[in-house]
Amino acid sequence: MSAGRTYVPKSAHVSSQDGTIQPVDPQTNVEYLDYLTQRLNEFIAYFDKFMTMHVENTGPLAIARGIAPAVLPREGADPEEIAAITTELNRLAGTLMDLSQVTNVRVGVQGAVVIDPFVNWATIVQPKPLLEAPNVHGCCLQAAGRLEGLRVRAVALAAPGVDPVRLHPLVWAAAQRLWNDGHLRQAVAAAAEAVTGQMKQLTERNDAVDTSLWQQAFSKDPAAPGKSRLRWPGDPSDQDVKTMNEGLRLFSAGANMVIRNPATHVHSEPTEQDALERLATMSVLAHLVDRCELVIREEE
């Protein structure tokens, strides 16, 4: 994700490039696992604070154990503070609605099969409680450990991503402000213009359309006065060098036609993935141009 954007889980699905909805496995989504971990840590902190204001209904002095609530307000505890903490715990429990399924942490209860200990934490303060405080606390710790393990596995299995900040500096410098403002098409256009500008500056050419200038920059023809060439380094008779020069002639002109031109003249917005791939392509071209040698022939 790009800098400045905050991940907020919406569902267990994402849109693919063709607009269809594709399922996402929450156990392998690092961002969602991090989200659950953060919310769980907050839940644990509030639950610990909640328990400082309550006493467990256990031991020789227990009152109607199994019938009365599992925890009772501690003498002198502020009812308004208890209510505020309870509200926050209920809110956080809502954000953890997937946690039990993701971590497979549940509690077996006689007559109720198994229940989600996070969503149902508040039964500890209800008559005939399904859970007790140690159940909730223990499940929280177990879920935290499982989230840690799931995240390590998810990172290990994750496909490599493209970080726009690590693209060719020329590409990202041109695209950054527009990209961060959400203007993806304009960001691609600006990056493509910057790479073309790099070529024009090297060859000192601006007397033809951009696609033609790319073709001429890598033309097989020798350099001529006013027509400098870019050449892949190495022995020009070497087949690999010849292949690189021909590939650059086709690739650079093609990139200009299929990336720069649509981004400049077609006003349909690309998806973030589409735009990122286009920036990466221009980054590849910019890096290749950096490695080329400039061949100049002066006026005779």
Mean pLDDT for the stretch of residues 154-165: 78
What value does the mean pLDDT take over residues 183-206?
94
Task: Give which of 247, 239, 237 is closest to 289, Cα–Cα.
Answer: 247
d(CA 167, CA 194): 13
66 has pLDDT over 50: yes
Residue 165 has a pLDDT of 83
Q: Higher model confidence: residue 161 or residue 254?
A: 254
Over residues 168-189, the mean pLDDT reads 94
Instruction: State the chain's maximal CA–CA distance in angstroms.
Output: 108
Of all residues in the chain, what percent carry a pLDDT higher than 70? 89
Q: What is the pLDDT of residue 5?
A: 33
Give the model confidence (pLDDT) of 22-65 as tens digits. Answer: 556 888 899 999 999 999 999 999 999 999 999 999 888 788 88
What average pLDDT does the chain have?
A: 88
Summarize pLDDT for 78-123 with one digit per residue, the tens.
999 999 999 999 999 999 999 999 999 999 987 768 999 999 999 9
Classify residue 76 as exposed, middle or buried by CB count within 10 Å of its CB (0-12, 13-18, 19+).
Answer: exposed
> Could you report the per-residue pLDDT of 236-293, keeping only the tens digit for each?
899 999 999 999 999 999 999 999 999 988 888 899 989 999 999 999 999 999 999 9
Q: What are the boundaries of each domain within the chain?
A: 13-157, 164-295
Q: What angle do CA 272, 255, 206 make, to 5 degrees?
A: 120
Rounded to whole angstroms, how far apart are CA atoms 192 and 198?
10
Q: Please give the C-alpha separations between residue 278 and each of 22, 73, 95, 99, 256, in angstroms, as whole numbers.
A: 23, 60, 36, 37, 11
Other residues' Cβ atoms within 10 Å of the Cβ of residue 196 = 22
Mean pLDDT across the stretch 227-237? 93
Mean pLDDT of all residues in 111-137:
92
Using DSSP's 3-state secondary structure scheme, residue 222 falls into coil
> What gap in Å lies between CA 177 and CA 246, rounded to an integer?
34
d(CA 246, CA 131): 72
Does an H or E element contain 44, and which? helix 30-52
β partners of residue 224: 227
Q: Is the pLDDT of residue 20 over 70?
A: no
Answer yes or no: is pLDDT of 232 > 50: yes
Task: Please say if the pLDDT value at position 300 is more than 70.
Answer: no
Q: Does residue 176 have a pLDDT over 90?
A: yes
* Residue 93 confidence (pLDDT): 97
